[in-house]
Amino acid sequence: MAVSSATPASLYNPQFMDHVNNPDYNYLLEDATHVHEGINPSCGDDLTFSIRIGDDGTIEEAAYQGHGCAISQASADMMSDLVTDKTPEEALALCELFMRMVKGEETDEAELEKLEDAALLKDIAHMPARVKCAELAWRTLSEMLGANEEA
């Protein structure tokens, strides 16, 4: 079993940096059906996440606004892309999977593929001080959708 060593160079790769420098989902969502604020008090990251659930019961659109480190911002952008066109139940399952991944509890590559770009953050598990940064958007969505778990 290979030991992964997370370094800033391996995390801040071009794909990750594209989410930081050119976010697709960092804007005010008009006509949101759900809005929830998430704060990471340990570092000051602050995020307001919004979704609009369509008539078919899926998340039609997702967006966020706020400020924080590159990890929290990229993670929010990746999550917004991933949950668009998913049901709230599917989005919650992805949140749970992401939380397990960044805590080092889920390493199965086939499972992690479900996270698409967000799987880029798997090495955060080796940087405990940054886990809360990566989790912020995912916790915010989970809280918004009413998950009753201690993720």
Over residues 33-66, the pLDDT tens digits come to 999 999 998 888 999 999 999 999 999 999 999 9
d(C-alpha 80, C-alpha 132), whole Å: 17
User: How far is it between the farthest Cα atoms of the chain?
Assistant: 48
Multiple choice CATH, 24-147, 3.40.140.10, 1.25.40.10, 3.90.1010.10, 3.40.50.2300: 3.90.1010.10
Apex CA 93: angle with CA 88 and CA 23, to 5°? Answer: 70
Q: What is the mean pLDDT of the chain?
A: 90
> Model confidence over 74-92: pLDDT tens digits?
999 999 999 999 999 999 9
**3-class DSSP state for residue 115?**
helix
Name the pLDDT band for 144 (thresholds 50, 70, 90).
very high
Domains of the chain by residue range? 24-147
